[in-house]
Structure 1
Amino acid sequence: MSDPEDVEPSPRTAEEPMAFTRDEFLRGVMASWIAFNLVWVAFIVFWPGSGGPLAGLLFGFVYLLASAPASGVVTAVFAYPVCIIGRTMRRRRGVSLHVAVHALVGTVIGGLVIGVVALWFRQGIDVLNPFVLSTLLSATVALPLGWAWAYCRARRSDAQVSRHPSVGPSLADGGAAS
C-alpha cells in the first residue's frame, strides 16, 4: 500500500470530470501504441492469406520489427493533436462519447498513414490489402483501448485519493475540497 502523501490529487472536478494529467495522457499514448502493435500483428498472423500459423507468426514477427518503430513515430507525431482533442473534451462526462471520438481519431490517423504509404510507394489503395485493413482496424481499435486503460487507471487512482481525503479533491466526492 502506498503512503497517502505519495498520492497525487486528481485533476478531475465537477466542472471538468474528464480532465487528465500529463502522466495519465502519456500512459494512454503508450497503451495505444502497444495496443496498435498487438492488434496489427494479430491481424497479420491470423489473416487467411498468411500461409498458415507458422508463416503467419513469421510474417507477424517481421511486420512487428517494422511496425513498432514506424508506429512509434506516428504516435509521437499525433500525440499533441490528440492531447488537444482530449483537453477540449475534458468537460464532457460521457465515456461512450470519448470512446467514439478516440475511435474516429484512430481511423483518421490510420487513413492518413495509409495515404502517406501509398504516396511514398506510388501505389493505389486496395482496401482488401492486409496492410490497409490491419492498419485501419488497429488504429481504430488502439486509440479507444489506450484511452480506456488510462481512464480506468486514473479512476482507480481517484478512488485511492478519496480514501485519503487530506490529499485533495477527487471525482468521487464531486470535486469538492475536503
Structure 2
Amino acid sequence: MAFTRTEFLRGAMGAWGWYLLTVAALSVVWFPMLPIALLYATPVSFVAVLVWSPFAYVLGTLLRSVRRIVIHVVAFGLFGAVIGAVTMLVFIAAISGFDEVDWSGAAFFAPYALTPALTVPFAWWRTARRALRIDRDGPPVPRRDPDAAAEDAVVIRLTERTDEFDAR
C-alpha cells in the first residue's frame, strides 16, 4: 500500500478529530461535563498528536509492504492504545503534581485513555479507504456549485465596472 505525506496528515488530523468527537460523546454519557472535558482534551490531545505523529509516520512507513488490512488495523489499534495509556498517565501525573501522583481518579479517565485504541485505527481505515478509491477511480471530480458560479460572475462584473470607472 502506498503511503504519502498527505495521507499521513489526513490520518493524523482524522484521528484527532474523531478522538475529540468521541470524547464529546463520552463526556455526555460517562460524566456530563462536556465543556470541562473538551477544555482539557483539546490541548492535551493536540500535544499528543504532535508528540506521537512521528511514531505513527514510522509505523505507516514500516507497514507499506503489508497488504493485509487487518494487520494495519491491529497495529494502529495497539499504537492507539499505547498513545492513550501513556498520554493519560502523563496527564494524571501532571494534574496531580509529579511529586505525589494521585491515582484515585484513574478509573474516571480510563474511557478517555482507551478511546485512541478505536479512533486511531478508524482514522487510518477511512484514510486508506479514500486513498485506495482515488488510486482506483482517479481524483474526485469537483462538484458544480451554481451559487459559487453566480458569485464569481458578480465579482467579475463588479471588477469590470471598477476597471471602467478607473479608466475614466
Identify the TM-score tier after normalising by the shorter chain: 0.7 to 0.9
Same amino acid, percent of matched pairs: 31
Aligned pairs, how many?
A: 134
Rg bigger for which structure?
A: 2
Aligned positions of 1:138-149 closer than 5 A: 138-149=115-126
Q: Select which of 68, 76, 100 maps to 1:102.
A: 76
Aligned positions of 1:1-178 closer than 5 A: 18-47=1-30, 50=31, 56=32, 59-120=33-94, 121=96, 122-124=101-103, 127-129=106-108, 131=109, 133-161=110-138
Q: Report how far residue 62 of structure 1 moved.
A: 2.5
TM-score normalised over the length of structure 2: 0.74
Gaps of at least 5 residues in structure 1 are 1-17, 51-55, 163-178
Q: Report how far residue 24 of structure 1 moved.
A: 0.7
TM-score normalised over the length of structure 1: 0.70
Aligned to 2:157: none
Q: Report how far residue 95 of structure 1 moved.
A: 0.6
Gaps of at least 5 residues in structure 2 are 140-168
Cα contact 2:81–2:117 (8 A) shared by 1: yes
Structure 2 SS opposite 1:26: helix
CA distance in structure 2 between the partners assigned to 1:119 and 1:137 by the alignment: 17
Q: Report how far residue 127 of structure 1 moved.
A: 4.9
Structure 1 SS opposite 2:107: coil
Higher relative contact order (CA 8 A, sep 6+): 1
CA distance in structure 2 between the partners assigned to 1:89 and 1:41 by the alignment: 31
Give the aligned residue type for 1:115. Answer: L
Q: Report how far residue 146 of structure 1 moved.
A: 0.9
Structure ranking higher in helix proportion: 2
